[in-house]
Amino acid sequence: MAMELSYLIITPYTIMKSRTGGVIARLLSRSDLELAGARIICPSQELTEEYAAAIKRTVGKRDEKAAKLLSDYVKDNFAPAADGKKERIMMLFFKGEDACKKLYSIAGSLPRPVSKAAITGETIRDTYADMVLTPNGEVKYFEPAVLTPCDQTSATENLRIFAKFMEKEPNIVKNLIKEKTALEQTLVIIKPDNWRHPSTKPGNIIDMLSRTGLRIVGCKIYQMSVANALEFYGPVKNVLRKKLAPVIGKKAKELLEAEFEIKLHEEDESKLTETVGLDYADDQFHRIIEFMSGKRPESCKESELGAPGLVKCMILIYEGKDAISKIRNVLGPTDPTKAPGGTVRRDFGQDVMVNTAHASDAPESVERETKIVAIEDNPICRIINDFLSKGA
C-alpha cells in the first residue's frame, strides 16, 4: 500500500473553545500514522477563497450539498475580519499507509441531526461538531470542528494550495487581536517521552495548558540535533557539576573507606570530587542530551552533531498576558515528585529528566531558546514539496 501524506485542520471555533488538546489526543492515540508536521496559520482572503473553491470541486464530486456546506463554512470562518482581526487554524500533517482514509475515519462524517440514542462520541465530530436545522430543514448552524480530505487526490490538491501560502508566511502568527495590556510570549516543548508510542499524552498536556487562557501562535514538530541540545541545555552543565560532583565525591570517599577500612583525607575527597564527581555530573548532562536528541554527544562524529535527532518533540509558542508565569504554574516544578497535583509534570512526569515538558523561565530565555530551535524554520513546506515532487 502506498505511503500517503494528508492533513487535518482544527477550525478557529475548536481552537477558541480550547478543544485543540482533545482533538490531538484522539488523533495520536487512534492511528499508527506519523505526525510529520504541525503549523498555526492565519488564512488570508486569497487562501480562504482558493481552499473553499477546492473543497467545492473535490467534495462536490461525491456530495454537492456537503461541498457547498463546507465551502461556505470556510469562506465565512477562515478569512480575516473587516477590522483586520485574523482567525487561527492549526494544521496537523500525517503520513503513512492509507493516511487519508484513517484520518477521515477518526474525524468522522459531517454532523447531522440524529436522536440522542444514536450519538456515540466515537469520532472527533461526534464529540465536537454541531449542526442545527430550522423546522423546514435548512441549516441554521454548522460547526464541523475539523476538516480533512477523504482521499489522496483531494489532499494533494489542497496541500499544494497550503504549501504555496505557508512558504511566504512567518511561523509565528501576528495581529490576532488588539490588547490594551502588554503581551508576552513563551516557549513550550512537549518532550520526546510523550512520542514513543501512540498516546493521548501530548493532547492531554495541551489541554491542561489551555486553562491558562493563552493563545497558541506558533508550533512545529522538531527533531533536536545534538548540537542544538548542547546549546539549549548548556547552562545546566555547570549547575549539575556544582550540585552533583561534591555529593558523589563524598559518597565515593565513604564507600572507599568502608571497603578498605581506611581513613581518607579531605584532599582525597576533593580529588574524588574533581574526577569521579565531575565525570558523574557530565554523564548526567549527556543523558539529558541523549534524551532530547536520541544520541549521546560522545558517540557522535563532529560532522553528525548538527543532523536532526532520532527523537521528536513538539514546540509551541503561547502568547498573552503573563504567559511565562502562567505556563510554568500549570507545568509545575522540575521534579515531578515535588509538583502539586493537577500540574502537567505531576500527572505525566517520571523524574527530574523525564519530566514531560519544558517551558521558558524568563523573557531572556524565550529569546535564547527560540533562536536555538529556529522557531521560524518550520520544515512542513519542505516535507510537502518533497512528497509532491515524487509524483503525488
> Hey, which residues are catalytic here?
358
Beta-bridge partners for 218: 317
> Which strands form 146-147's sheet, in the order they lie side by side?
34-41, 89-97, 3-10, 146-147
CA 99, 100, 102, 103 torsion-angle sign: positive
pLDDT of residue 98: 95
Any idea which of 50-59, 174-183, 249-258 has the lowest mean pLDDT? 174-183
pLDDT at 178 over 70: no
Report the alpha-carbon distance of residue 337 to residue 318 in Å, rounded. 26
Q: Domain limits of the chain?
A: 3-171+377-389, 228-304
One DSSP character per residue, 245-290 reads HHHHHHHHHHHHHHHHT----HHHHHHHIIIIIHHHHHHHHHHHHH
Residue 326: all three cell numbers together: 502562567
Rounded to an integer, the average pLDDT of 135-142 is 88
Residue 101: all three cell numbers together: 482514509
pLDDT at 118 over 60: no
Report the alpha-carbon distance of residue 147 to residue 122 in Å, rounded. 17
pLDDT at 180 over 70: no
Report the alpha-carbon distance of residue 242 to residue 223 in Å, rounded. 30
Helices 152-166 and 380-389 cross at an angle (nearest 10°) of 130
Query: pLDDT tens digits, residue range 310-329?
Result: 999 999 999 999 999 999 99
Enter the DSSP assignment of 187.
E
Does residue 56 contact residue 227 with C-beta atoms inside 8 Å?
A: no
Does residue 378 contact residue 93 with C-beta atoms inside 8 Å?
A: no
Which helix (H) or strand (E) element contains residue 328?
Answer: helix 323-331
Does residue 382 contact residue 388 with C-beta atoms inside 8 Å?
A: no
pLDDT of residue 365: 97
Residue 9 pLDDT grade (very low, low, confident, very high; cuts 50, 70, 90): very high
Residue 122: all three cell numbers together: 466515537
Domain 3-171+377-389 has CATH 3.30.70.141: yes
Looking at per-residue pLDDT, the higher value among 114 and 340 belongs to 340
pLDDT of residue 148: 97
Rounded to an integer, the average pLDDT of 186-191 is 98
Best CA proximity match to 280, nearest among 254, 227, 243:
243
Separation of first and last alpha carbons in the chain:
14
pLDDT of residue 15: 97
Does residue 126 contact residue 120 with C-beta atoms inside 8 Å?
A: yes
pLDDT of residue 26: 95
pLDDT of residue 116: 56
Return mean pLDDT, the chain.
93
Residue 152: all three cell numbers together: 489522496
